[in-house]
Structure 1
Amino acid sequence: MNTPAGTHTPRSVLRALRHHLTTPSEDDTPLLGNHRRRWVRRLPYLVAVILQIALIPAGIATLVGFYDMALPVAGALTVAQTTPLLLAITRPLAAWWISAATLVTTGAITARHPQAMGSWPWTAPMIIAYVVLMLALALRESRATLLSAWVATVLLTALTTTLGLPHSGDGTTVLLIALSGAVLLLGWTVRDRAEARRLLTEQEHISEVERDRRTLLEERARIARELHDVVAHHMSVIAVQAASAPYRMPDVPAEAAEEFTAIAGTARESLAEMRRLLGVLRSEGSGGEKAPQPGVGQLAQLVETVGRAGVPAELTVEPGVADRVPQAVGLSAYRIVQEALANVVRHAPGARTWVSLATDGPVLLVTVVNSPPPERTESLEASVEGTGQGLVGMRERVRLVDGRLDTGPLPDGGFKVAAALPLDHLDTPRERTA
């Protein structure tokens, strides 16, 4: 006779129990073995040793005193019941099998001894050892295995009380079943919560990485848009000079005039291609980004704006620097100072700040240093417009011109941003109109 699909026969239930109780977890890590603190990793071993020291004498004394059992037999049963506590740290399912078999064996043996006093079939040391072992099982095995272990506990207690006839089990049987079930539920809840916290921490880490990556990509896109403006300026100058050369120099040979015309056409085609590329990088409505890009000459206005926002700042620029700085390097220097001042506003409102630009041979040195913020000051973040990219944006700016960046706190509580930007980058000084 065929069994309808979806029904559970006693044989199928026993087969499922056997499968779950003989398939341990693939994780061989000891309990709390992944904790970063060493004393926490050693804690399960310490608890198991303390329990053995306490339960072995108590268990032997109980079996000898209550059931007049021979000392070697009582010692062997007690050791067999408590030793799995150590094994449970790494192999909780195997330890459960040993403990469950010992429970049944102890109940069958004590049923044949006259009971002087106390309860039957479970003594207090047996219950404590079994419950602690079930907690270790709950912290490691799957939910199906835990349910199977509890069902097996109910069946084993029923088998033990049956073997103990004409003895009748007392409340300790119900107590063992109730405590083991409660401990399994508690252990699974703790484990489930720990797993949820681990996943949340992992997700937060992934979100932080993605946020940094998005910040980096946004800053690179911003740099690409600004670089377009710099290169477009030079290409426009090339196109205009090439197109007007035959008119400014009437004695130019025909071959040279054709060459100038070809150069002007190539420059215009390059500008058209760059505008199409810019359409991908620059979103609609960003009209503010179409304004001329700032440079070293606009630093005084930037420092003045920050001063009006409540951050006293001083600017020192070496004479002649503005004429030597290429446009791309000047733009990078401006953005670095802008971001550094924005960080002062966000993290050290009211702190005195010094901005300096100087040259060291072929290198432009940009330094922004702020003192510790005064006490009881409120953030002025909303008062100053910054790029919002922090140190990530600064590093990208420096990388754009093959420079170096050094940032970090000062001993007095202030902060320093120092950038070294090569002046002989691929860009060239600004062209002057003839």
Structure 2
Amino acid sequence: MNYVQNRRKKRQFEWDPWGRLLKVTDKAFTWEASYDALGRRLQTRYTPYKSATLTTTSLYDPEEEFQEIGVKCQDKTFWKIYGPNSCDAISDESEAVFLIHNALGQLAGVVTEQQTRYTENFPSAYGPTDFSIPSDLLSYAQSLTWHSKSPDPTNLIWMGERYYDATSGRFLSPDPISYPLCLDLYTYANGDPINYIDPDGRFASYAYQTVKPLLYPCQPGMTVMNGVFAVCANIGLTRSSPFEVGSFNLSTGAIGFINGINNNKIQARLSAQQLSQYAQGTKIYGTHNATNFPVIDVFECAAGHIGFHTPPVQLLKNKWKHLIASHGPQAKFLEICHSGGAIHLKNALLTSPESVRQQIIALAIAPAVIIPRRLCFQSDNYISKNDFVTHLDFDGKRRYGNELHVLEPHPDAKDWDHEFLSPTFESRIQGHIKEYLKNYGGKR
């Protein structure tokens, strides 16, 4: 139990062993909350002094951890429809309204069939401090005044991972990512809600994210095909797939791997298991670049060279999104690629925001394309003298040939020294993994 004292009132807070707020009590009301196994708040019960209990139930998108898509308030259900950054529309059984937001994520107006109601009094950039009980669709829409959220009767805002007090601009519990991202583990958005946001209470990120243009022009037909491939990857309509091997996660980073052409899933897992052994059992987040047939695999590489993004590109981006969400925006991730997997890695980097690219350390073994240092936080490319594949990247050799490390083949290597597990590359891979674990992996 914890007690909060201010000038006007004294409140009692009750928490469960996992740090979730269960109950708030003061002289005017009692408020309770319950959660599911994933930590999402399922229901709240608000009982004012000598009044009936108001029960509110939340419904969630099964593919987004904290995205609330519906709210049941007594006998009414409001469905929330999201755009890229906010809830842009709300509907009930009979009608719908549309929400207008400004650059700070504040509600600027609500559009109904009859009129547009503009917001007269905006909350501060730190968020609203007043609570109102919605009675209909319009009043519920007008309550979502800040980043598509509204305060509870406690005047706290549930962000997902933590509760936030907009009056003080602070969370009630410490940052789960912790130091060194922020010295004050309770502050909201690093104390700068104009330039940063904290959408789910885990860590602050830039509010205004820009994406640098691609390094090559993308034709309309190619754009459509890339979109189709991305959708196929997201819904599982592809033979390529993510996988994991190893026994434990790193505390402040992660190691990824994507295989080259003509590798079935067993071969890809064997390569990843070898990487895990080099990393003393660390979990490897693999992306299986599925083989279709050697000739088709070569054609896929050629398509990737000119800008087509087959499903492994989207699988890599999905993996990074997951890792960044769980480790924070300052973590570094080692992504190891082989042969044709380097094409997918390069295309994933080309179409990722600068903030994501600066979290990726690329290690390319016998790559089909050179991964330039300018595309990510750090990159190293290795090829054996007895291999020709990387030399087929004519434009890459012309522009970034000085970034390619050419190695003497190991005496036990094959005549065509292109295999990922070739002894030529063993010490280099081990050295890079050891350096990564020392500098970015954290403690077990």
Q: What is the TM-score of this pair, normalised by structure 2?
A: 0.20
Q: Which structure carries more relative contact order (alpha carbon 8 Å, separation 6+)?
A: 1
Query: As a proportion of its length, which structure holds more helix?
Result: 1
Q: What is the TM-score of this pair, normalised by structure 1?
A: 0.21
